[in-house]
Amino acid sequence: MTTKVLEVKGLCKSFGGVRALRDLSFTVNENEVLGLIGPNGSGKSTTVNTLSGVLPPTAGEIRLGGHPVQNLPEWDRVAMGLTRTFQTASVFPEFTVREQVVLGCEATRRSRPIASAFRLKADRAEEQEIAKRVDTVLELTGLTALADAKVGVISAAEQRFLMIATALASGPKMILLDEPAAGMISHERETLTRMIRRICDSGTSVLVIEHHMALIMEVCDRIVVLNFGAQIAEGTPAEIRENRAVIDAYLGE
């Protein structure tokens, strides 16, 4: 039986007169990588922004593990297992890689109202749990050897891997990646491709926005295609490659 991690129904988002999202409906299952592709301005980032809680949807339903979350703030969604990275990397150059990932853990801990209402500092058991989680996440993102390096000195690609690691530190069921390969060269994209697969295999479903077709076609189980905010196709990479509407709107450009 397939378990639905994320369900999106009739999602709409307008900015004044601009209808950025028009009635999107799709699901992401457990152990699945879903690709979201489409031309510039087709609504990909807006989708991630409404799913993560950065923007309120104009209409529609977002369910996480069966629970409606569309009216919850971003941090509640993180605590419930939905996390994301942004299109541009934001890191603290003076922190070490490990410290930056610990921040990601802290973010979830603080968002548990009962735990944080009574004590602001982690107790010993909690600290050990955090350390273990950080090690796992560094391993998953290939950053173990750089754990004690200052964030400011690692490469741009490594900083992007670190953004993924920080998001994973909250132990999510689902991670949303907005153009994770931006600025990467080919061997870094290959590293990222393997990383996305490992993340999925470790129990975190992935929604990935990318315009590098090779990466999308290799890593995704299914792909949703947007054009002018509307869903024009959905299918396996093989189906999408053959889809006439997709070729006309996007792949053939």
Q: How far is the CB of 176 from ligand ADP (least distance, A)?
A: 12
187 phi, psi to nearest 5 deg: -70, -25
- The residue of the chain with the least Cβ separation from Mg ion equals 45
Q: Closer to ligand ADP at the Cβ: 42 or 170?
A: 42
- Partner that binds at residue 15, options ligand ADP, Mg ion, none, CB closer than 5 to 8 Å by kind: ligand ADP
In the numeric block, which tokens belong to residue 28?
């992401």
- Report the run of H or E that residue 7 belongs to, with start and end: strand 4-15
Fill in the per-residue mask, 42 to 81: x = in contact with ligand ADP (CB under 6 A), - = not in contact: xxxxx-----------------------------------
Spatial separation of the C-alpha atoms in residues 249 and 253, rounded to whole Å = 7
The answer to whether 40 contacts ligand ADP (rule: CB under 6 A) is yes
The answer to whether 141 contacts ligand ADP (rule: CB under 6 A) is no
Spatial separation of the C-alpha atoms in residues 178 and 208, rounded to whole Å = 6
Q: Closer to ligand ADP at the Cβ: 18 or 214?
A: 18
Spatial separation of the C-alpha atoms in residues 38 and 236, rounded to whole Å = 15
Are 43 and 21 contacting, i.e. CB atoms less than 8 angstroms apart?
yes
Q: Report how far apart, in Å, the C-alpha atoms of 26 and of each of 51, 84, 99, 235, 236 are.
A: 12, 18, 36, 11, 14
Local structure of 128: helix, strand or coil: helix
Q: How far is the CB of 182 from Mg ion (least distance, A)?
A: 10
- Partner that binds at residue 41, options Mg ion, ligand ADP, none, CB closer than 5 to 8 Å by kind: ligand ADP
Q: Which of 35, 38, 81, 104 binds ligand ADP (CB under 6 A)?
A: 38
Residues of this chain, 39-98, that bind Mg ion according to CB under 5 A? 44-45
Interface residue list for ligand ADP (CB under 6 A): 15, 18, 20, 38, 40-46
Interface residue list for Mg ion (CB under 5 A): 44-45
